[in-house]
């Protein structure tokens, strides 16, 4: 029979392992883009710059800020009024955007491969027509100007267009939610940033999305 | 002394067992299950108003060019495929293929290269692809398109491609293989050099 002191010591050890282990697994890095997140997250248009991704050159799209934002018109249809909500389903790599009870946008995305896309419930805190994102190191280094239609929702984790790859429906990012430029533009024109004390459009990142009231999150960060 | 040693050994054994069990618990509760990949998005042909002609299309990620597929049943056991590229930055080009198999070709969601210079179509499912130049020109005098499956099997015999997924950059097509024993690996096909590049990073989810 084990002695009482042995049992107590074993229980203490198990508790320490569980607490330390959970703390390790729930760690979230400070930011998605490890270099650019240390700078101001501001609008930047650099039409004469080239990007780098996977050690290869990436040609960014030319961006003209003089071309104004389009009116809210999703898929050529007028949208019924209602609360807006964006859901990201990491299991199917799909974005679902709802206005009221109506789904107004569904698009394939690419979430984190080289960095985690944290699950949780957030709000868009800033919208940027274009910015630079950079991070990683070695073969994983990337530096991408003119990233279009950026909507940051948690620190520098954001929804944005990706011009450097076309592998949507599969993980391909450093933590952000990549979309085709056409889809990102539609979402950007429809979603709201914060305004007059009102929060931006809610964004829920789900391990799996079953419906607007059923977003499964195993280890949400908030 | 022996009693103390026995006590210490027993205590250490219990502590180790407790630590292992707790470690298992932590791993089980924290390691997320693998991401279940959605089926590839394929533009399914939709029956058009003209009988025996089916159409499908896929726009490029920047929305500037479009790839349209028309399939005509020749009623003689053959099918005629016409692929048309349209867009402001591209001359309108047409590519024709005739086959004896119904629905052998389809347009994947990620058909277009990010710079709109190439596209690929699925041949017989998502495990093989034909790559074309978007301007309609052949890759060489004898090569109208690149057959990814042929290029891969010439280099890696008896290894089957599981899925061609999309473009990692304007010249790299991502695809995955899976052996009979379930061992997976990812590769790039470089266009137009046809180099097969084995990857240390896995692009399957």
What is the reported pLDDT for B92? 82
Instruction: Classify burial at A189, counting beta carbons within 10 Å of its beta carbon; exposed 0-12, middle 13-18, buried 19 or more.
Output: middle
Across the interface, do A167 and B21 touch by the CB < 8 Å criterion? no
In chain A, residues with a C-beta closer than 8 Å to the C-beta of B188 are none
What is the reported pLDDT for A139? 84
Is the separation of the CB atoms in A145 and A46 below 8 Å? yes
Q: Is residue A8 part of a domain?
A: no
Is any Cβ of chain B less than 8 angstroms from the Cβ of A220? no
Q: How far is B14 from chain A (nearest CA, A)?
A: 6
Q: Is residue A133 part of a domain?
A: yes
**Closest partner residue to B203 among A2, A170, A182, by Cβ?**
A170
The string of DSSP letters for B132-163 reads EETTS--SBTTBSSEEHHHHHHHHSTT--EEE
Across the interface, do A21 and B27 touch by the CB < 8 Å criterion? yes
Q: State if pTM tops 0.95.
A: no
**Closest partner residue to B113 among A91, A93, A166, by Cβ?**
A166
Beta bridge partners of A220: none
What is the reported pLDDT for B38? 42
Q: List the single best residue of B166, B171, B203 to mutate versus A (max A Cβ within 10 A).
A: B166
Q: How far is A128 from chain B (nearest CA, A)?
A: 18
Q: List the single best residue of B3, B19, B22, B165 to mutate versus A (max A Cβ within 10 A).
A: B22
Task: Please report, in angstroms and rounded to a whole number, the separation of the first and last CA atoms in chain B.
Answer: 57
Cβ contacts of residue A22 below 8 Å, gap of 6+? B26, B29, B30
Q: Is residue A151 part of a domain?
A: yes
CA distances to A94, A208, B23, B156, B205 from B33, in Å: 17, 11, 17, 31, 11
**Closest partner residue to A2 among B10, B31, B61, by Cβ?**
B10
Q: How far is B100 from chain A (nearest CA, A)?
A: 31
Q: Is residue A1 part of a domain?
A: no
Q: Is residue A211 part of a domain?
A: yes
Across the interface, do A9 and B35 touch by the CB < 8 Å criterion? no
pLDDT tens digits along B100-126: 777 799 999 999 999 999 999 999 999
Q: In whole angstroms, how large is the CA radius of gyration of chain A?
A: 20
Is the ipTM reported for this complex over the cut 0.90? Answer: no
Beta bridge partners of B130: B121, B147
Across the interface, do B14 and A7 touch by the CB < 8 Å criterion? yes
Q: What's the CATH code of the domain at A147?
A: 2.40.440.10
A82: domain range?
Answer: 32-216
Both tokens assigned to A93: 């790599």
Q: Is residue A7 part of a domain?
A: no
CA of residue A39 relative to chain centroid, distance? 18
Distance, in Å, from the CA atom of A47 to the CA atom of A45, rounded to the nearest integer, reads: 6
Number of structural domains found in chain A: 1
Q: How far is B49 from chain A (nearest CA, A)?
A: 23
**Closest partner residue to B26 among A22, A94, A163, by Cβ?**
A22
Q: Is residue A13 part of a domain?
A: no
CA distances to B156, B162, B202 from B183, in Å: 15, 11, 12
Q: Is residue A15 part of a domain?
A: no
What is the reported pLDDT for A28? 63
Across the interface, do A108 and B109 touch by the CB < 8 Å criterion? yes
Q: How far is B18 from chain A (nearest CA, A)?
A: 5
What is the reported pLDDT for B50? 44
Render each residue's pLDDT in chain A as its tens digit; 222 residues: 667 777 888 888 877 777 666 656 556 678 899 999 988 788 999 999 999 999 999 999 999 888 765 554 555 556 778 999 999 999 999 999 999 999 999 999 999 999 999 999 999 999 999 999 999 888 889 999 999 999 999 999 999 999 999 999 999 999 999 999 999 999 999 999 999 999 999 999 999 999 998 999 999 999
Across the interface, do B169 and A61 touch by the CB < 8 Å criterion? no
CB atoms within 10 A of CB B102: 11
Across the interface, do A18 and B169 touch by the CB < 8 Å criterion? no
Shortest CA distance from B120: residue in chain A: A166
In chain B, residues with a C-beta closer than 8 Å to the C-beta of A168 are 61, 109-110, 166
Render each residue's pLDDT in chain B as its tens digit; 205 residues: 555 565 577 778 888 888 888 777 776 655 544 333 444 455 555 544 444 677 999 999 999 999 999 999 888 888 899 999 998 777 788 888 888 777 799 999 999 999 999 999 999 999 999 999 999 999 999 999 999 999 999 999 888 999 999 999 999 999 999 888 888 999 999 999 999 999 988 888 7
Beta bridge partners of B163: B176
Nearest one of A186, A185, A195 to A99, comparing CA atoms = A186
What is the reported pLDDT for A10? 80
CA distances to A194, B59, B188 from B163, in Å: 41, 21, 12
In chain B, residues with a C-beta closer than 8 Å to the C-beta of A91 are 35-36, 38
């Amino acid at each position: 029979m084990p002695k009482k002191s042995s049992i107590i010591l074993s229980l203490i050890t198990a508790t320490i392992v569980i607490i330390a282990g959970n703390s390790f697994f729930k760690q979230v890095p400070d930011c998605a883009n490890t270099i650019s997140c240390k700078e101001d997250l501001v609008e930047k248009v650099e039409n004469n710059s080239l990007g780098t991704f996977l050690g290869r050159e990436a040609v960014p799209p030319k961006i003209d800020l003089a071309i104004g934002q389009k009116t809210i018109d999703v898929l050529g249809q007028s949208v019924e009024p209602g609360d807006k909500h964006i859901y990201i389903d990491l299991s199917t790599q799909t974005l679902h955007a709802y206005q009221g009870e109506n789904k107004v946008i569904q698009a394939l995305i690419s979430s984190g491969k080289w960095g985690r896309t944290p699950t949780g419930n957030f709000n868009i805190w800033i919208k940027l027509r274009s910015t630079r994102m950079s991070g990683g190191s070695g073969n994983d280094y990337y530096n991408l100007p003119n990233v279009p239609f950026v909507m940051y929702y948690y620190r520098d984790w954001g929804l944005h267009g990706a011009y450097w790859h076309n592998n949507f429906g599969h993980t391909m990012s450093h933590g952000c939610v990549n979309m085709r430029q056409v889809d990102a533009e539609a979402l950007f024109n429809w979603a709201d940033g914060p305004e007059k004390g009102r929060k931006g459009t809610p964004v829920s990142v789900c391990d799996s999305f079953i419906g607007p009231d059923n977003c499964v999150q195993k280890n949400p960060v908030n | 002394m022996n009693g103390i040693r026995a006590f210490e050994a027993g205590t250490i054994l219990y502590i180790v067992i407790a630590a292992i069990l707790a470690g298992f618990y932590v791993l089980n509760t924290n390691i997320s299950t693998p991401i279940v990949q959605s089926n590839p998005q394929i533009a399914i042909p939709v029956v058009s108003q003209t009988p025996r002609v089916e159409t499908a299309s896929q726009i490029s990620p920047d929305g500037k060019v479009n790839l349209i597929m028309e399939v005509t049943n020749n009623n003689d056991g053959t099918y005629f495929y016409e692929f048309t590229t349209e867009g402001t930055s591209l001359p309108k080009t047409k590519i024709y293929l005739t086959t004896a198999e119904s629905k052998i070709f389809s347009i994947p969601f990620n058909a277009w290269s990010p710079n709109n210079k190439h596209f690929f179509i699925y041949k017989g499912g998502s495990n093989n692809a034909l790559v074309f130049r978007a301007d309609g020109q052949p890759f060489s005098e004898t090569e109208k398109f690149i057959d990814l499956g042929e290029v891969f099997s010439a280099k890696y015999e008896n290894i089957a491609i599981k899925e061609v997924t999309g473009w990692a950059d304007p010249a790299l097509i991502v695809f995955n293989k899976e052996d009979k024993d379930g061992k997976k690996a990812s590769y790039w096909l470089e266009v137009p050099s046809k180099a097969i590049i084995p990857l240390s990073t896995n692009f399957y989810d």
